[in-house]
């Protein structure tokens, strides 16, 4: 190491590439005769495109989805050519020209986007139909419009609003989507996300679009024994110190020691996605020992009680619990939030 080399990171994100590949393969099997794609938007749900794409490609994934055009180059650096769809579609001529130049398919979500695509010269695209989530998508009543009828639709898709719950809306959306499919010429149909795959093969159609469960999220109870944890964060201890009885910890002194206490300051905070709600009742881990969090999580640091870990020293790494359904229940955050707020300061790797 020379004097100009960057020192080792104090935040590490171990990505289990084998678990990620196995998760895709499991979801692909559960999709039945349909094939599974992969949502890699938001830096592969916080995991990192550079880490996720090779694992997904090795597992057999070939259909990928991002939300923003700004996300396209990172995907193409790791896999080109491939089937890449951009969920937010084309809202102006610049986006349409870029889509045509690189061969990515825009997901047309409105009459306006259909017009933009046609004016740019058109070509193969995907089409989103709104069947009940009222977010993005062409209204079923607009499917007969000439500008929609003129589209060269590869993938006709919709998005389930409540696939993680059992309720009548799922079946209503499936019926609405089948009706839409009878009106629009297309090459393939796609409706199910991770949770939708667990609803059964009626929802799988031709292509499923898992996201959360690729990266270790349990979208429905049926997936609990199928999906493996992918992400394992770790953070380094910056300092170990002793508190006296009456000493307080952190902003607003929300914790006060009742007796002498050994504590460690750890290099992780809410700038890294370890939000303040992870503090109360939470703990980090060292060799299977729980290290209770003391006081408020701050921007770059979290203080823990390390009395039970006398061998824990400055520079040692501690584990950040990341069993997604468990941590979501404790923190009140969704599994999506836990993943996608993982900060950029983590060194990501296998």
Q: DSSP string covering 249-265, please? A: ESGGG-EE-SS-EEEEE
Is 251 tagged catalytic? yes
CA dist., res. 106 & res. 31, Å (int) = 24
CA dist., res. 348 & res. 350, Å (int) = 7
Is 41 tagged catalytic? yes
Residue appearing with tokens 């694992």: 55
CA dist., res. 236 & res. 312, Å (int) = 10
CA distance to 6, 81, 339, per residue, from 327 (Å)? 32, 37, 11
CA dist., res. 242 & res. 252, Å (int) = 19
Catalytic one of 41, 45, 215, 270? 41
Catalytic one of 98, 203, 251, 287? 251
Residues involved in catalysis: 41, 251
């Amino acid at each position: 190491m020379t004097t100009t080399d960057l020192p080792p990171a104090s935040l590490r994100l171990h990505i289990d590439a084998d678990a990620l590949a196995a998760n895709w393969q499991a979801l692909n099997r559960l999709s039945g005769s349909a094939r599974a794609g992969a949502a890699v938007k938001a830096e592969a749900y916080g995991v990192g495109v550079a880490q996720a794409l090779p694992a997904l490609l090795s597992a057999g994934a070939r259909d990928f989805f991002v939300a923003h055009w700004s996300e396209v180059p990172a995907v193409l650096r790791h896999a080109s050519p491939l089937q890449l769809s951009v969920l937010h579609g084309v809202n102006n001529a610049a986006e349409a020209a870029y889509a045509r130049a690189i061969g990515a398919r825009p997901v047309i979500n409105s009459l306006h986007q259909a017009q933009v695509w046609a004016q740019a010269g058109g070509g193969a695209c995907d089409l989103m139909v709104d069947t009940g989530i009222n977010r993005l998508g062409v209204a079923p009543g607009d499917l007969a419009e000439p500008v929609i009828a003129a589209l060269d639709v590869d993938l006709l898709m919709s998005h389930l609003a409540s696939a993680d719950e059992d309720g009548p809306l799922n079946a209503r959306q499936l019926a609405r989507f089948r009706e839409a499919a009878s009106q629009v010429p297309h090459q393939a149909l796609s409706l199910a996300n991770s949770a939708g795959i667990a609803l059964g093969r009626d929802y799988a159609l031709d292509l499923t679009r898992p996201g959360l469960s690729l990266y270790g999220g349990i979208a429905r109870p049926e997936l609990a024994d199928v999906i493996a944890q992918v992400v394992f964060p770790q953070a380094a201890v910056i300092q170990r110190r002793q508190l006296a009885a009456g000493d307080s910890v952190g902003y607003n002194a929300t914790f006060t020691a009742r007796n002498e206490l050994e504590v460690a300051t750890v290099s992780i905070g809410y700038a890294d996605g370890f939000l303040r709600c992870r503090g109360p009742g939470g703990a980090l881990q060292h060799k299977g020992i729980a290290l209770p969090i003391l006081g408020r999580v701050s921007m770059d640091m979290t203080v823990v009680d390390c009395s039970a870990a006398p061998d824990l020293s400055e520079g040692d790494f501690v584990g950040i619990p990341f069993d997604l359904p468990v941590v979501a229940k404790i923190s009140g955050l969704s599994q999506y939030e836990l993943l996608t707020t993982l900060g950029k300061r983590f060194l990501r790797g296998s």
